[in-house]
Chains A and B, each alone.
Chain A
Amino acid sequence: MAEEVKLMKGNEAIAHAAIRYGCDGYFGYPITPQSEVMETLMDEAPWETTGMVVLQAESEVAAINMVYGGAACGKAVMTSSSSPGVSLKQEGISYMAGAELPGLIVNIMRGGPGLGTIQPSQADYFQTTKGGGHGDYRLITLAPASVQEMADFVKLGFDLSFKYCNPAMILSDGIIGQMMEKVVLPDYQPRRSEEQIRKDCPWSTLGKPESRGRNVITSLELDSAEMEKNNIRFQKKYKEIEENEIRYEEINCENPEYLIVAFGSSARICQKVMEIAASEGVKVGLLRPITLWPYPYKAIHDLGVKVKGILCMELNAGQMIEDVRLAVECKVPVVHYGRLGGIVPDPSEVWEAMKAKLDIKTSHSDKTTAETGDSIDPDQLKEVISNLNKMVP
């Protein structure tokens, strides 16, 4: 049967993909720009078809703890929110990591800090990849760059989180969440039976049979020697994930002169930047990390050390750039460009900034501005770059 191509928002794709995955429960609390996830689930009413539970919790904190509870029973459960709400969930995420529970968390990022703005941002990169909650833990992080990937990464996120008994996050933003694109939804797969869960997740708290002792799900271990053993086990698992689960995409990366490293919506904008660069005779490649943790350090290193310079473009004041610099061990210049507070730069603005920051000379450098009248004000761009330079080390 031919797969049906649909047109929908990224947020809607997440909801449909969750039902089709055989997700057992969604627990959420509304917040712009991700409210369509729960709205779509409520419209679809999967409790009448697959038996999936959809619940609007009383808060984000309640929602993540419902995920903890569901996951403890071996169920495939998820929550979604946007930046301020995801901050509230951090304690629960840390507890899930400590109790080695699977589960999917979706963050459709908006500008912060605090309540910030409702417009797109990628300023939660640090929070997601470097901790967020307390303790030595890691969060498997997937960064979709299209509505199709929003749908696909629901399954990937759940699969990885169950494979490693670790929470996973889809880290996206208001652009991919709100935009509509073509998508082919994954096939329906049934929710796992309780018998299947007992088999797949022998640790789950589904009731104690005579044949074994009781299962206890907790992140608490008061005996330091035991806790250290737990920590060592976690670290071993994280190392295994780093060895096996790195994902990235290289576009136009056969001997590029310059490289852009960008994830999610920024990578989409930078694909257009590459096209503009090519029209001015400069070969720019794009490396798009798909997993933000584990991070593709080696791929960036191997490609990065061969180019004249690297632009790290992200909708924040310079977060992933630290990992790009680590990857190339500061052997090549790595510069940052990004707008803040929910402002999204357009591709020619990024290209002008890239040329200015990496001192790229082209034969017709002023093409874009000359041809389109005043679409970019060079003085304004200089001011933006100078302000950002003051902030980014």
Chain B
Amino acid sequence: MKEEIIIAGFGGQGVLSMGKILAYSGLMEEKEVSWMPSYGPEQRGGTANVTVILSDDQISSPILNEFDVAVVLNQPSLDKFESKIKKGGVLIFDGYGINQLPTRKDIRVFRVNAMDAAIELNNSKAFNMIILGGLLKIKPMVKLENVVAGLKKSLPERHHKLIPMNEQAIKKGMEIIEEISI
């Protein structure tokens, strides 16, 4: 098993932390993991992305040019990474952030209307966890219980009360992700 994933969007959308939670979940399953952020002069409103690799074997390059999965949360990220998805790979996008749909026909494309769902849950901070839920529905690379264990490990204790809310958001994402035909 090896999943090479790029998660990209605006700074402040929770791109890096979503990648971190995925990486911690992989750690809980005793997989090899790497988490490589773009650490340029990003700030809220700028672009941010992170490459996460989960693998049963040792990971060679943390820098990649093609991915099994691209999670894109805004238009510039879609424009940048659509061409870098492997043939037969997966593209997941947030319906709110994209105004021009992807065009490739040799990949599977999914939409998660995470922004709408986050507003429905009355918690805009749940946005990235809803996306993560969608990703895990399509690519069940880690078990939900291990995501929760990963959250416990990565969050300071004072934030542990937020874990049930995050779990709820992940489940919501699993429910609402839908495949789009291009």
Task: Tell me the A residues contacting B by CB distance below 8 Å.
Answer: 5, 7, 32-33, 118-119, 174-175, 178-182, 265, 268-275, 344-349, 371-376
| Contact between B65 and A7, CB atoms less than 8 A apart | no
CB atoms of A180 and B64 under 8 A apart: no
Q: Say whether A376 contacts B83, CB under 8 Å.
A: no
With A and B bound together, what is the CA distance between A390 and B42 in angstroms? 33
Closest to A286 in B: B60
**B164 part of interface (Cβ distance < 8 Å):** no
B135 lies within 8 A of chain A by Cβ: no
Given A180-B23, A181-B33, A275-B60: A375 and B39 interface contact (C-beta under 8 Å) = no
| Given the contacts A118-B41, A372-B83, A268 and B60 also touching, CB distance less than 8 Å | yes
Q: Mark B56-72, 1 if CB is under 8 A from A, else 0.
A: 00011111111000000
A344 touches B83 (CB 8 A): no
**CB-CB contacts of B85-104 with A at 8 A, as 1s and 0s?**
01100000000000000001
B34 engages A181 (CB within 8 Å): yes
On whether A348 and B65 interact (CB within 8 A), knowing A5-B27, A7-B24, the answer reads: yes
User: Across the interface, which residues of A come within 8 angstroms of B63, CB to CB?
Assistant: 175, 265, 268-269, 344-347
Residues of chain A with a CB closer than 8 A to B84's CB: 372, 375
Task: Enumerate the 6 nearest inter-chain pairs by beta-carbon distance, A residue then B residue, closest first.
Answer: A346-B65, A271-B60, A272-B61, A180-B35, A272-B60, A179-B36
Q: Are A33 and B39 in contact (CB under 8 A)?
A: yes
Contact check, A118 vs B39: say whether CB atoms are below 8 A apart.
yes
- B20 on interface, CB distance cutoff 8 Å: yes
A223 shortest CB reach to chain B, Å: 51
State the Cβ distance, A343 to closest chain B Cβ, in Å. 11
| A374 and B65 contact, CB distance less than 8 A | no
Given A179-B62, A371-B87, list of 15 further CB < 8 A pairs? A7-B27, A32-B39, A118-B40, A118-B41, A178-B37, A179-B34, A179-B37, A180-B34, A181-B34, A182-B27, A268-B62, A346-B61, A348-B65, A348-B66, A349-B65
With the chains together, A273 CA to B84 CA distance in Å? 17
> Which residue of chain B has its CB nearest to the CB of A373?
B83
Instruction: State the Cβ distance, B147 to closest chain A Cβ, in Å.
Output: 14
Contact A347 B27, CB 8 Å, known A175-B36, A372-B87: no
| Chain B contacts for A33, CB-based, 8 A | 39
The contact size tier of chain B is 20 to 34
The reply to whether A374 and B83 contact each other, CB–CB distance below 8 Å, is yes
C-alpha spacing A347/B66, complex, angstroms: 10
Q: Chain B 133-171 against A: per-residue CB contact (8 Å), 1 yes, 0 no?
A: 000000000000000000000100000000000000000
A347 in complex: contacting residue of B33, B64, B87, B104, CB < 8 Å: B64
Give the A-B pair count, Cβ closer than 8 A. Answer: 89
Contacts of B154 in A (CB 8 A): 7
* 21 contacting pairs across A/B (C-beta < 8 A): A7-B23, A7-B24, A7-B154, A33-B39, A118-B39, A118-B41, A175-B62, A175-B63, A179-B34, A180-B34, A180-B36, A268-B63, A272-B61, A273-B61, A346-B63, A347-B64, A372-B86, A372-B87, A374-B83, A375-B65, A375-B83
With a CB–CB cut-off of 8 A, which chain A residues contact B66?
348, 372, 375
- How far in angstroms is the closest Cβ of chain B from A31? 13
For B26, the closest partner residue in chain A by CB is: A7
Most B CB within 10 A of own CB, among A181, A268, A344, A348: A181
Q: Please, which residues of chain A bring their CB within 8 A of the CB of B27?
A: 5, 7, 182
Instruction: Please tell me if B3 contacts chain A, counting CB pairs below 8 Å.
Output: no
| A271 adjacent to B35 (CB under 8 Å) | no
Residue from the set B20, B34, B39, B59 with the largest chain A CB neighbour count within 10 Å: B39
Establish whether residues B33 and A119, one from each chain, have CB atoms under 8 Å apart when the complex forms.
Answer: no
Check B178 for interface membership: any CB of A closer than 8 A. Answer: no
Given the complex, which residues of B lie within 8 Å of A269, measured CB to CB?
A: 60-61, 63
Cα A182 to Cα B30 in complex, Å, equals 10
- A270 CA to B63 CA, complexed, in Å: 10
Distance (Å) between the CB of B37 and the closest chain A CB?
6
- Contact check, B35 vs A179: say whether CB atoms are below 8 A apart: yes
The interface residues of chain B lying within 8 Å CB-to-CB of A178 are 36-37, 39
Q: How far is the CB of B128 from chain A (nearest CB, A)?
A: 17
In whole angstroms, how far apart are the Cα atoms of A371 and B35 in the complex?
25
Residues on A with beta carbons closer than 8 Å to the beta carbon of B32: 182
Kindly state the separation between the CA atoms of A174 and B35 in the bound complex, as whole angstroms: 13
How long is the Cα–Cα vector from A179 to B23 in the complex, in angstroms? 11
Nearest Cβ in chain B — how far from A234, in angstroms? 38
Q: How far is the CA of A33 from the CA of B42 in the complex (A)?
A: 13
Closest B residue, CB atoms, query A268: B61
In the complex, residue of chain B having the shortest beta-carbon distance to the beta carbon of A181: B34
A182 to chain B, nearest CB (A): 6
Question: Which residue of chain B lies nearest to A178 when distances are taken between CB atoms in the complex?
Answer: B39
User: Which chain A residue has the least Cβ–Cβ distance from B81?
Assistant: A375
User: Contact flags (1/0) for B18-52 with A, using CB distance below 8 Å?
Assistant: 00100110010010111111011100000000000
